[in-house]
């Protein structure tokens, strides 16, 4: 496991306290009734840029030297990290270049451009975008800030875990969307540091779950990136992964994979029962509960990670589509 410590998360909170929102924790009557135990939703979808990613991006930019800020930052993203980094960089007068694959939804691409970042669209996968970001960093001297496998990013995301502990001190289980592992690693580090008895669940989709495949293989592996409602969870974890793979392997109690139909059902439930507009990746925890994958032992906290869904896609899902 990496040398990242709980103190890194507390230091991150000090840096970003004025830059991000402390998001609400809401009791879910519908899910609590269904499971027979208290279920709470940690609404990171209410974060300033619409997802949890602003925490890690703000912490990473805040730690750059004056020289690094002058040279700018670059990152590959499935959308939300790019949006968060563009926002965090703009607040500190730093140029941001965001590399995206052609699979990133148009609404997320436009949101990044609207924040003043330079956008490069290349290839058909997160790995393609990552290679382009690495090339720009080498040739232009920009600081590469990856979406998950970076200690400052992980520590920033871990501040969400601190809030969970403060808002629901007797939490028994936490459900966290699982992709590259930055969110999961940071949150689980905070939770397990408080109590090893808190059960951590990583939730992903069946279509291209890179961290799940890597955990099963015992080392980082590449997977095909496939179309999915949970597009924010797509992409590889990097064959040279330095942090999130080992942290997830050490801190994750269970991993659950979901069908597209289950994710769509959860998006509909979030809208109709919780009055929430969510992207597919943010609804996976709700889907795991609706599918009966989680032992009904509470209190349960579900991390609702973002709302940056293409509105036309959301309308199709509400009308009954599973894609």
69 is known as an active-site residue:
no
Q: Give yes or no for a cis peptide into 299 (omega within 30° of 0).
A: yes
Q: Which of 28, 45, 51, 53 is catalytic?
A: 53
3-state secondary structure at position 304 = strand
Contact 186, 158 (CB under 8 A): yes
95 is known as an active-site residue:
no
**Strand partners for 284:** none
Task: Say how far apart CA 247 and CA 318 lie, in whole Å.
Answer: 36
Contact 188, 301 (CB under 8 A): no
- Measured CA to CA in angstroms, residue 112 lies from 77, 119, 129 at distances of 11, 7, 15
Closest CA to 267 of 220, 316, 303: 316
3-state secondary structure at position 322 = coil
Q: Which of 28, 193, 214, 305 is catalytic?
A: 305
Closest CA to 148 of 280, 52, 215: 52
Contact 162, 156 (CB under 8 A): no
Closest CA to 293 of 142, 153, 113, 173: 173
SS (H, E, C) 77-125: CCCHHHHHHHHHHHHCCCCEEEEECCCCCHHHHHHHHHCCCEEEECCCC
Catalytic residue annotation: 53, 305
């Amino acid at each position: 496991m990496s040398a990242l410590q709980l103190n890194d998360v507390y230091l991150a909170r000090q840096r970003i306290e004025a830059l991000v929102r402390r998001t609400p924790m809401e009791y879910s009557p519908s899910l609590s009734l269904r499971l027979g135990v208290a279920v709470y939703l940690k609404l990171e979808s209410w974060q300033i840029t619409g997802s949890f990613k602003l925490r890690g991006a703000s912490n990473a930019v805040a730690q750059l030297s004056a020289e690094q800020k002058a040279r700018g930052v670059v990152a590959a993203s499935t959308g939300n990290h790019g949006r968060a980094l563009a926002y965090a960089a703009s607040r500190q007068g730093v140029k941001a270049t965001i590399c995206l694959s052609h699979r990133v939804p148009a609404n997320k691409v436009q949101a990044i451009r609207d924040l003043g970042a330079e956008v490069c669209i290349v290839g058909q996968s997160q790995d393609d975008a990552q290679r382009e970001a690495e090339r720009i960093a080498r040739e232009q001297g920009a600081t590469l800030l990856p979406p998950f496998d970076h200690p400052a990013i992980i520590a920033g995301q871990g501040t969400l875990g601190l809030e969970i502990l403060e808002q629901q001190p007797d939490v028994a289980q936490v459900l966290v969307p699982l992709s590259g592992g930055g969110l999961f690693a940071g949150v689980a580090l905070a939770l397990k540091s408080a109590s090893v008895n808190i059960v951590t669940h990583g939730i992903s989709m069946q279509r291209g779950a890179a961290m799940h495949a890597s955990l099963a293989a015992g080392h980082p592996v590449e997977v095909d990136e496939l179309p999915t409602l949970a597009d924010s969870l797509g992409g590889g974890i990097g064959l040279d992964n330095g942090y999130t793979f080992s942290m997830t392997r050490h801190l994750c109690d269970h991993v659950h994979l979901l069908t597209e139909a289950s994710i769509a059902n959860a998006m509909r439930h979030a809208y109709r029962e919780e009055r929430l507009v969510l992207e597919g990746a943010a609804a996976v925890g709700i889907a795991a509960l609706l599918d009966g994958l989680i032992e009904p032992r509470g209190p349960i906290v579900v991390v609702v990670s973002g709302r940056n869904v293409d509105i036309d896609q959301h309308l199709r899902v509400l009308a009954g589509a599973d894609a």
